[in-house]
Amino acid sequence: MPALFPARRLAAAGLLALTLTVAAPTAPVPFGALPALAAEKGVFFPESFTLANGMQVVVIPNHRVPVVTHMVWYKVGAADEDRGQSGIAHFLEHLMFKGTDVIPPGEFSRIVAKNGGRDNAFTSYDYTAYYQNVARDRLEMVMRMEADRMANLKLTDAVVYPERDVIIEERRQRVENEPADRISEQINATMFVHHPYGTPVIGWPQEMSTLTREMAERFYKTWYTPNNAILVVSGDVTAAELKPLAERYYGAIPARPVPERKRVAEPPISASRQVELRDAEVRQPSVRRTWIAPSYRVDPDRQAYALQVLAEIMSGGSTSRLYRSLVIDQKVATSAWLGYGPTSWDMATLSVGASPAAGVSMDKLEAALWGEVDRLLKTGVTEEEVATARKRMLAAAAYARDSLTGPAQTLGAALATGQSLDDVESWPVRIDSVTAEQVNAAARAVLSQTNHVTGLLLPPTGKDS
């Protein structure tokens, strides 16, 4: 968690690759080239205020170019849907582009494009977000438009039901026709047998076809209110400049009561499970194993930061343990990785995976991969490995502010999943305090669990590598 499902276009898919979380192998920075960084509090240095109606506003000044990223985050996602209505959060995200009395259906994005900007939206389990990248002098325009659809969305059967066909087709194209996405969906559903994280963000097909205008309107009126939203603006603007605009457009929208987020708990499961998908479209087989892991918000033993350091050690580029062992030394894999992302409202997951090199059997690949996991559990990581990982991660944090959209993405996701600005700004200090003992304890706590799910993506029988 979280799983993203960008709407309408694929442009948003990469935007939430949070700078501060290692999720997969990346190009390494030579260790000797990294600056000697002191772990000081502060990453994005945001400014913040709250409107009278309860809407939180965050500003991340960046005056390098006269451009801004304007984002509205709603603290609701697919995991907040009523049972039997899977996909309604993502469906409403599509419908938010269908107009108001002021802006006709489809005109929102056309207006942004005519003014030289770019817009999109995305849905995850825990939040839904809408964004525009525009020139600084177009900021007021997009604020006025976004506030309008926050309060005045107009839905008719004529726009709702054709769009339902669109999301059903989107599922066919992006999930049902993609073996990698299909097995990911099945691994998730097997991992979470009761919690809504096991239901796909886009929805199950039999439920998507029953979604109605009334359901969408009810979801909109329940959750889309300023006191359940966060405005994040990054770029060439200050809080003093933004505040009067925020008060004029968003501050004029009355607050409404918002229900408490109620998620069913996952039952205790001790058995390991395996999912296997064979498909003629599979060109590159792979294996993946997933465990339940703590998130920032659900972390009684404070292991989230240690697990991020573990991910850097195991998967932080071509010098990482997994890549060096499986790809370079043993030559059994073309890729090997450990992924972990702690930004979730409820629990998170940690996964280890690999794809075989040409001519290498899946049995041989699995033996090598699980051998590395066993070695980690038995011998742990060293203080030198932890020190190197911390240094790389602090360098990444230092460079994170260079991005325009990245800081808005990071802060919006954090705030929507229960973190505070202080939590984000304290990230370097907390990472720098992680020890090898803490990394080893966190690794053993997660990877020793027996309720993991293993996924195998394979070509048809008889065509394995």
Question: Active-site positions?
Answer: 93
Please state the φ and ψ torsions of residue 160, each to the nearest 5 degrees. -75, -50
Bridge-based pairing of strands 229-235 and 67-74 is: antiparallel
Question: Which alpha helices (H) appear in 297-361, and where do they start and end?
Answer: 304-315, 321-322
In 64-110, at which residue ranges do the beta strands (DSSP E only) sit? 67-74
Please report where in the chains the tokens 């097909």 appear, as a residue.
205
Given a contact cutoff of 8 angstroms between Cβ atoms, the answer to whether 314 and 289 are in contact is no
Please report where in the chains the tokens 């991992």 appear, as a residue.
191
Given a contact cutoff of 8 angstroms between Cβ atoms, the answer to whether 421 and 45 are in contact is no
CA 411 – CA 413 distance, rounded (Å): 6
Residues 6 or more apart in contact with residue 340 via CB below 8 angstroms: 21, 22, 23, 293, 307, 308, 310, 311, 348, 349, 350, 351
Nearest to 153 by CA among 94, 108, 97: 97
CA 389 – CA 399 distance, rounded (Å): 16
CA 291 – CA 288 distance, rounded (Å): 10
CA 284 – CA 152 distance, rounded (Å): 47
Give residue 441's Cα distance to chain centre.
Answer: 26
